[in-house]
Structure 1
Amino acid sequence: MTGLDLARALTEAARDRLSGELLVSGEPGGSFHLRRGALLEVASPGAPGVETLLLRSGRVSEADWASVTRSSAADGRLGTALIAQDLVGSAELQLMCAMAALDGALAVGMGRINGFTLDRDADTCRLAAPAGIEPDWLVEEAGRRIRVLSALGRCPSPFRTRIARTPAGSARLAGPATGERREILLRANGRRSVRDIAFLLGRSLYAVTVEVSRLLGEGLLATVPTADAPTEPAPTAPPPPGPPPGPPAHARLPRRRPGASGIGDVLPLRPVAEPWEPPPAFLARYRALGGTRWAHEQATRRSTTGEP
């Protein structure tokens, strides 16, 4: 099962205007909530959802969130209640739901997909996008972001790879480093993954993964090998210098050995020093046709060279 299969299922669900929950099993897995072909919410343990983005950013306080969820979470009107209490605007909530859905789809696509099933009877959605989300846009944009991350030279696994500050990264904290880079460096303690840091910061998984990849490339962060990862052998002293190596095996011409091909068994070779003489049948035919000139030349050659 691949991400292409999942993308095809989402596209077909939009075309057929299906409703229900598309549940994806795997690591980290997730769920896609559909209503008449439109996506209402994408939730995955691999990426921060709208709730985390609202609370970590301080846009909604803990007390206001608790009050809204007590009265509205059970019937799925959480988004409507947030807008009604003027805690967030409708356009802002739509944007945050779309970004969280894109992040969830990215997490599902970058992880391992074991399979997925569509439960058409399920109608549970914690925080729905007010205007819905177009599945075709989500599939296209998630695929583009996955290709961007794959092209990065030092992109870690957002879920399994643990990252830590290097001495250069710790030195950077003592300097004028500010903003998101500083926040990532502060939380990169060797026990957290990119996903963990994204949840702590309340930032997009995609944005944090891109920034971590840059910090790895600059030598400010390093990946921490896991217990099941193969360890590199300890370095040893170099061997003493020897004679210069010859050309590589593919550059050396094969050495010929007489008789190795077996051609001599089929066509025996005559000694090089022995002069060539035409067969007797050829001589008889030649002389019968009046070939006296050749006989004269042969006699002259023999008298000159002393050959018998």
Structure 2
Amino acid sequence: MPLSAASRPGGAGLDFARVLMEVPHGRLSGTLLVTGDPGGRFHLENGVILEVTSPGSPGVETLLLRSGRVTETDWASAVRSGAAGWRVGAELVARELVGSAELQLICAMAALDGALAMGMGRIDRVALDPEPPATCFAAPEGIEPEWLSRESERRIRALGGQPVSPFRDRLSRTDAGTRLLDDGIAGERRDILQRANGRRSSRDIAFLLGRGLYAVTVEASRLLHEGLVDVAPPALGAADGPAPAPEYGRNPEPTGQPGRTEEASRLPRRRPGTSGITGVLPLRPVSGPWRPPTALTAEDRRFGSAQ
């Protein structure tokens, strides 16, 4: 069931937003395919979102493995299990390697980041494949499309006014940032500063750390305001291009071809309103059975109100 491709700027983005609004009311099932840069997929079942994936943000697999919540050995065993099939997440829960509530939260975080990446990128076409989705990490309680749309739109607005693009800008540690590292700073700030080598964007660092795209970009914006990181100048002759997602276990390190490295680490500059999504959103308040814990949005709400 293909939807109309964009015949004018923002046309496909408007289709995208309208479909998300209709998902719970039409009880849609299948896979909503978003073609663009970076693009992505929404896996739907009876009006509820099960999983969102995009090459523009870390997925559930990256969040679980990079963060150390699940070991590579346990992961490989769950994938090999005949009982798991495509539902790797369900197998991890059955083996008590991840709690059901924890998987729900991680799925929601990954879904928010995936929708954020698609919304901040370019949307060319939207199509609904009615075949049952083959999801690896179905959120145990599902994710309400209205809540996801509203939260994604709020995050897009928050990041749209910040000086750091999650895809385009490569972060470089300043002398002040280096001194802070030498002083023994700990936590997420240390992790980001260590990887701000002038070749990586917030998206690249999020993949390396196994942390959310939005959370890393928010912290990068704070570090920039404090003079601890800077935005590295673009390489001469480098052009914006699509950025494929790094595979787990393969760091997006330089390959000896600087131009290609820069192109692979950035996505096109987003101009507010290009996708057309914000012309339809925000949506009605969520009314589904699952509500995200306060901790999921409290920190970035403080960030948004502080800017």
Unaligned runs of 5+ in 1: 231-308
Answer whether contact 2:87 2:135 (CA < 8 A) is retained: no
**Comparing 42-51 and 72-81, the one that deviates more:** 72-81
Aligned-pair identity in percent equals 63
Per-residue displacement from partner, 1:20-74 (whole Å, max 9, x unpaired)? 1111111111100001111000001111111111111211110000000112587
For residues 35 and 42 of structure 1, the distance between their equivalents in structure 2, rounded to whole angstroms, comes to: 12
Answer whether contact 1:73 1:126 (CA < 8 A) is retained: no
For residues 28 and 161 of structure 1, the distance between their equivalents in structure 2, rounded to whole angstroms, comes to: 16
Q: Partner of 1:113: helix, strand, or coil?
A: strand
RMSD: 1.8
Q: Partner of 2:81: helix, strand, or coil?
A: helix
Alignment partner of 2:171 out of 163, 167, 171: 163
For residues 193 and 72 of structure 1, the distance between their equivalents in structure 2, rounded to whole angstroms, comes to: 38
For residues 66 and 9 of structure 1, the distance between their equivalents in structure 2, rounded to whole angstroms, comes to: 36
Amino acid at match of 2:196: A
Q: Partner of 1:190: helix, strand, or coil?
A: strand
For residues 72 and 56 of structure 2, the distance between their equivalents in structure 1, rounded to whole angstroms, comes to: 22
Residues 1:89 and 2:99 are matched in the alignment:
yes
Residues 1:221 and 2:220 are matched in the alignment:
no
Unaligned runs of 5+ in 2: 1-5, 240-307
Answer whether contact 2:15 2:126 (CA < 8 A) is retained: no
Q: Partner of 1:118: helix, strand, or coil?
A: strand
Amino acid at match of 1:123: P
Query: What TM-score, normalized by structure 2, do the two folds share?
Result: 0.70
Query: What TM-score, normalized by structure 1, do the two folds share?
Result: 0.70
Amino acid at match of 2:233: P
Q: Partner of 1:92: helix, strand, or coil?
A: helix
Answer whether contact 1:30 1:104 (CA < 8 A) is retained: yes
Answer whether contact 1:72 1:78 (CA < 8 A) is retained: no
The equivalent residue for 1:57 is: 67
Aligned length: 228
The equivalent residue for 2:204 is: 196
Residues 1:141 and 2:151 are matched in the alignment:
yes
> Structure 1: which 4+ aligned runs deviate by more than 6 Å?
none
For residues 157 and 224 of structure 2, the distance between their equivalents in structure 1, rounded to whole angstroms, comes to: 19
The equivalent residue for 2:194 is: 186
Q: Higher Cα Rg: structure 1 or 2?
A: 1
Amino acid at match of 2:201: S
Superposed, which structure 2 residues align to 1:1-308 within 5 Å? Answer: 1=6, 2=10, 3-72=13-82, 75-152=85-162, 154=163, 156-226=164-234, 227-228=236-237
RCO higher in structure (CA 8 A, sep ≥6) = 2
